[in-house]
Structure 1
Amino acid sequence: MAQIHRLHVQNELKNCSADQLYSFFKNERTKLPQVLPHIFKSVQILAGDGNSAGTVRLVKFSTGTSREEIMKEKIETVVDESRTLRGSIIDGDILRMYPKFEYTMTITPLVTQGGEESCLVKLSVEYEKENEDVPNPTEYMELSSLIYKAVASHLAKKA
């Protein structure tokens, strides 16, 4: 039986409301190439309505190296009350190293002392390695943090 591994990362994002950020990742993920064109080449909806459980997206992106990757992700669960999205990678380059790759993203509102809107983004990843020589997917976790910060900055500029 394969061993399941877990990684967690969290980012506190200033000047960004939890509702705005959650809405972007739930409803507007196809706009990622406009926000981060140096990372995302395209995000297209292959199945579903784009923002609910059952949605399947094809994502073409770069991880910071020169290589471009493709992944097909499926949204498994959407819980608006807790601003939680859970999904799994069902096809693509990442599955060569990690045959199982699932994630949960939760966005929690924070109120700063000055009354500014901020939020905490928690990303948990559950994965299985192809073999023990495969490194932990820290590169993807770091990329996620970069994406959250860039989207928060983009949303702050729109406000």
Structure 2
Amino acid sequence: MALTGKLVSQISIKSDGDLFHEIFRERPHHISGMSPDKIQNCELHDGQWGTVGSVIFWNYFHDGKERVAKHIVEAIDEEKKSVTFKVIEGDLMELYKTLKATVHVDTSGEDNLVTWTIEYEKLNEDVPDPRTVMEFCLNLTKDIETHHLSNVPK
């Protein structure tokens, strides 16, 4: 059994893809208002919002428990509309030696396609692949979409 792996999932959203990218790039601290059952708090610990090298601390609810994570913004690609976060502290580090998540938005056409990629290295063979983390990311995407669609003037 391999200790390293990669999960990739895509989800189509009807809300504005550029706005979705902007939220993860510059305004992740707004996500708690869009998905309060999943994200309780998001604080900037070092750097500036929207810049590579910034350190962000999260309080979130996952797998039935309150959790914490600290990550560093590892990459921002404006052309590809992607942001990569590397987890550096928190509950996930009890299972994974490394965990990196990239959220990418393809804004061509009417529907926007959000792709989540999770790259990881487990601490040992008994650790499951982070499928529930991927499910969390997809559900968070749906919450953000629902928030934006409910606030669009008709």
Q: TM-score range by the shorter chain?
A: over 0.9
- Structure 1 match to 2:13: 13
Aligned with residue 148 of structure 1, among 129, 141, 147: 141
One-letter code of the match for 1:91?
E
Contact 1:39–1:64 (8 Å) recurs in 2: no
Q: After TM superposition, where is structure 1 displaced by more than 3 Å over at least 4 residues in a row? A: none
Query: Are 1:29 and 2:28 an aligned pair?
Result: yes
1:23-77 deviation per Cα after TM superposition (whole angstroms, max 9, x unaligned): 1111111012111111111100001111110111100101141x11100011011
Residue ranges of structure 2 left out of the alignment (5+ in a row): none
Map of 1:114 onto structure 2 = none
Paired residue for 1:92? 90
- The one-letter amino acid paired with 1:70 is V
Partner of 2:78: 80
The one of 131, 138, 141 aligned to 2:124: 131
1:157 shift after superposition = 2.3
Give the 3-state SS of the residue equivalent to 1:49 in structure 2. Answer: coil
CA distance in 2, matches of 1:33, 1:8: 24
- How far apart, CA to CA, are the structure 2 residues paired with 1:140 and 1:95? 13
How far has the Cα of 1:103 moved from its partner? 1.6
Amino acid paired to 2:90: G
CA distance in 1, matches of 2:112, 2:101: 19
In structure 1, the gaps of 5 or more residues are 112-116
Residues 3 and 125 in structure 2, CA contact (< 8 A), matched pair in contact too: no
TM-score by structure 2 length?
0.93
Deviation at 1:134, TM superposition (A): 0.7
Work out the number of aligned pairs and report it.
151
Alignment match, 1:51: 50
User: Aligned pair in 2 of structure 1 residues 120, 64: CA closer, same or farther (>3 Å)?
Assistant: same
8 Å CA contact retained: 1:45, 1:55: yes
Question: Is residue 43–residue 59 contact of structure 1 (8 Å, CA) maintained in 2?
Answer: yes
Q: Secondary structure at the match of 2:135?
A: helix
Instruction: Report the alpha carbon displacement of residue 158 of structure 1 after superposing the two structures with TM.
Output: 2.5
In 2: Cα distance, 1:138 partner to 1:60 partner: 19
Separation of aligned partners in 2, 1:118 and 1:156: 13
CA RMSD of aligned residues (A): 1.3
